[in-house]
Amino acid sequence: MVFVKGALMSITLAIAAITSVVSIPVHQKRLNKRQAEDGVDDSNGLTDLVTWDTYTLKVNGERLFLFSGEFHYYRLPSPGLWLDIMQKFKALGYNGISFYFNWGYHSPKRGVYNFDGIRNVQKAFDAAEETNLYVISRAGPYINAENDCGGLAPWTLDMQSPARKSNPENNAASEEWLNEIDKILVPNQITKGDPGYLEMIKNKFIADGMDVPDIYNDANMLYNFPKGPADIYGWDNYPAGFDCSAPDAWPNNRSTEYMSYHKKVNDHQPAALWEFQGGAFDPWGGPGYEGVACYQMVNEKYAKVYYKNNYAQGITIQNLYMTYGGTSWGGLSKPSVYTSYDYGAAISEPGLMTTKAYENKLQATFLHTVKPFLTTEHFKAKVDKSDIILVDGRAATETSTKFYIAQHWLTSSKDLDEFHITIDTTDGKFEIPRSSKLILNGRDAKLLVADYDFESQHLIYSTSEIFTHQDVGSHDVIVVYAYEEEEGEFAIKVKNDNKVHVEADDSVNSETKDGILQLTYTHPNGTTPVYISGGTEKDLLVLIAGYDSALHWWAPYIDKKESERVLIHGPYLVRSAKKDESNIAFTGDIDETTDIQVVLPDGIKSITWNGEKVKLKKQDKHGIYTGTLKFTKPNVSYTDLTKEANWKYSPASPETEPEFDDSEWITADRLSTNSITPHKTWPILYADDYGYHTGNIWFRGHFNGSSEITGFNLTAHSGSASAWIVHLNGHYLGGFDVGNQAFTNLNSTTLMNPEGENVISILLWTTGHEEDGVSDDNHKQARGFTQAELLGVSNQTIWSIDWKIQERYFYDKSNLGGEDLADPVRGTYNEGGLYGERNGWHLPGFPDDNWEDIDTPGSQNRTGVSWYRTTFDVNIPDGYDVPMSLRYKDKTKTRYRSLLFLNGWQLGRYANDLGPQTQFYLPRGILNTDGENTLAIAVIPVDEAAQVGQIILEPYDVLQSALPQVELVESPTYQDRQK
């Protein structure tokens, strides 16, 4: 990995990250790392702009809690939307974003690299710079992440040497990739297994000019390379697991070992979770992301309990995998996951906010606001229910502030428990709460603060959590919160008991005694303002919020230095705020007419929302203003595909017919393979050995009939959710999952010609390659057939069946190799070997005039591969974000697979018998939201015939939005390919 940022100097600060595990020492002199001494930060010896100590990273000497989230640019194939997602990261309080760089996405063939169009990763760095986000740059070569081959280039499948090990063949391939990606990483720095392979990668980074720190992400606390060669060691953890079918069955596995592990292995560096579970992937046939599945399992309660436990353990670098999951479009994914990579993440696949996103905002804003939390040491806190309540104490090293993180010992507990904490402060010792109840109601955790100087105030303690605080000029403001109906106490130091004046409604009780003002209250359904005057240097406005209300408080920075915030309550999303003399200009999104509250700094007379002035009413004399953001229903129009579209149909599997000409297909003649999958017969029938790595693959076997032959035997090897369909001489024999199938007694039927040529036609639906997580070449499992032989033949040879393989070509029939792309714009994962794909039926502009007119694709049952085409219009006015989708509404009982192409881009793979995905996201930019679009759908029956259901075009939501301008993605047409 590499660390980069775009905030401090209008350049991107890259933290270089090494993610591979490998072998043999590289005898190259390393730069000596400066050792941390008393009062001297540690660094990599190459730059002092990024340093660290046991507590935190420092950038230009300033400490920061790195609150980061994972984002995969390649899972959002519309670069215009990258800025939208990064604005949302920033709005939610993130100051970091992590990019995996997918080697296979950029390199279809050895020596061929593409960083243009949707692969222009410079645009991702530019978006991070514009939104002031640090970038964790994870360049691989191996990245895992549920990607095909774990992100290794598919052409490396034919390497004889093992991947992820130090050997000349693999090192040369890896250096080829690093040569290309480093050209982009190096200019974006803020400054402008087996240790041998790690040394090679590190030295390559340095040789190419990488001088920011590099990091290593260990797969949990496994002691792999904590002493180097990477500069900053860390680990990952996915405590909730990935079984979303039981979303309520949390394990009791919250870690209490991070702290001791950190002290043991790398105490001179900050405690880092380079990957921590921010969601969960869902497999084919799984329960899905929506409703009671993954979103429930890793919801905001999960974020409360598990993330706050990380902080209790001293973590100050936290990268949430994923924060935006996106779409595994085309053939990007490994076999176990389907098209949607929503991941149950904080930001959903179509870019919408979730409750967990708002919870993350509460936590991140606190961590950036309350600076003493950046340097703390653990202490044992005293709690009266220590058998059921765990309270971790953390004491600031530079102030007297103390933090108390409370949670149930049993992570999965749903009990409601009352408890007290004994706190020792500079103001005395207290058992809190003093006159109310402090509870944990089931799956909750609280991060409480005591003995804390903020703005001009001194907080003695609060049993409500802090969101943020700000000096607004004439007075200070602080926002505190807890669940509705929970009681709370807030106590501050005052100078003169008799001069204190508290303005609040009847729900708040106040008592001043011995220099302590204590507020006692019940958290409301909304926000209750309390104004305190006369007792401190400045007056104080305390905003007491119920949880749902707290979720909709925003505190965006209003200055370039990120030192001043403004408080606004109500909007769905606040993207930014900028102070300009007496005005604050907000940008953001609303999903309905929204009442807002704004706490304005002194001197601010007005606000605008997305460029429009907002009429404000002063709620009181303490700087709280109210207003209304009016939602105007837009005139969004789109074609009803079930009633208004002009559909065209064509059959599309001539490969099943015996007379089909496959003379120019690749002859399967290899007698050995670099796959790890054993084979039983020859020739090798593994698609990767012939350069075909993605999507549907046709195999055709020719054999001469004889009286001996009774049938044939086939064994398919492919990934989860794969399928294969067999025809003999044009007759359907069956559709199957992976595994063996013997076709017997064919000699007693008319299907086989006993005297002439016979043709076996097989269509293999593949779902990608495995990952190589433990460096055993698991990604080299075959996609094809381990066994293909005739039955009843006594003298069979390896050439008894002559096999041909074809995946894809277009027009130029001399170019049959799968690694030579007919469409470099869409790239290696977009197309497979269906007849329609090979001939451009999925592309805009394909002449389908001679196709059959039909009402809808689901109008009748059809055998063989079918293709359906139509065009449709979408018109979304400026100023609105209306993410669109296509949904299969399907009651078909027979099994089939389907590919969905929008304007030539494969945005969906559907399996009606497996599910769970039926709705497919259409990213703006790929989708033309101001005109015509082309839709092509391929249907592949696994059973003999299938009837596709309705195809429905519909929005996820309608937002009045400050969505950045999204340019149309280049989408070459049929005519472009003919040139």
Question: For the stretch 362-382, what's the b/e string if a residue is b when 16 or more beta carbons lie within 10 angstroms of its beta carbon?
Answer: bbbbbbbbbbbbbbbeeeebb
Is residue 695 predicted with pLDDT exceeding 70? yes
pLDDT in tens, 638-676: 999 999 999 999 999 999 999 999 999 999 999 999 999
Q: In 3-state terms, what secondary structure has residue 960?
A: strand
Percent of the chain exceeding pLDDT 70 equals 94
Is residue 610 predicted with pLDDT exceeding 60? yes
Residue 228's pLDDT is: 83
Whether 236 and 219 have beta carbons less than 8 Å apart is answered as: yes
Q: Count CB-CB contacts under 10 A for residue 661.
A: 8
Residue 290's pLDDT is: 80
Contacts of 391 (CB under 8 A, 6+ apart): 381, 382, 383, 404, 405, 406, 419, 421
> Rounded to 5 degrees, what are φ and ψ at 502?
-115, 125
Q: How far apart are CA 553 and CA 93, in angstroms?
A: 12
Q: Which of 781, 732, 727, 736 is nearest to 758 (CA)?
A: 727
Is residue 220 predicted with pLDDT exceeding 70? yes
Region of poorest pLDDT, from 202-216, 385-399, 947-961:
202-216
Residue 412's pLDDT is: 94
Residue 807's pLDDT is: 64
Entry field: residues in the chain: 979
Is residue 203 predicted with pLDDT exceeding 80? no
Q: How far apart are CA 936 and CA 905, in angstroms?
A: 9
> Rounded to 5 degrees, what are φ and ψ at 632?
-105, 120
Q: How far apart are CA 822 and CA 810, in angstroms?
A: 6
pLDDT in tens, 819-860: 888 899 999 999 999 999 999 999 999 999 999 999 988 878
Tokens of 446: 């609280």
Instruction: State mean pLDDT over 436-461.
Output: 98
Is residue 30 predicted with pLDDT exceeding 70? no
Residue 808's pLDDT is: 54
Is residue 7 predicted with pLDDT exceeding 50? no
Residue 191's pLDDT is: 67
Contacts of 580 (CB under 8 A, 6+ apart): none
Instruction: State mean pLDDT over 903-928.
Output: 97
pLDDT in tens, 60-97: 999 999 999 999 999 999 999 999 999 999 999 999 99
pLDDT in tens, 331-378: 999 999 999 999 999 999 999 999 999 999 999 999 999 999 999 999
In SS3 terms, 80-124 reads as HHHHHHHHHHHHCCCCEEEEECCHHHHCCECCECCCCHHHCCHHH
Strand partners, 788: 714
Q: Which of 446, 438, 444, 406 is nearest to 301 (CA)?
A: 444
pLDDT in tens, 289-335: 987 789 999 999 999 999 999 999 999 999 999 999 999 999 999 99
Tokens of 699: 């195999």
Region of poorest pLDDT, from 199-203, 520-524, 854-858, 946-950:
199-203
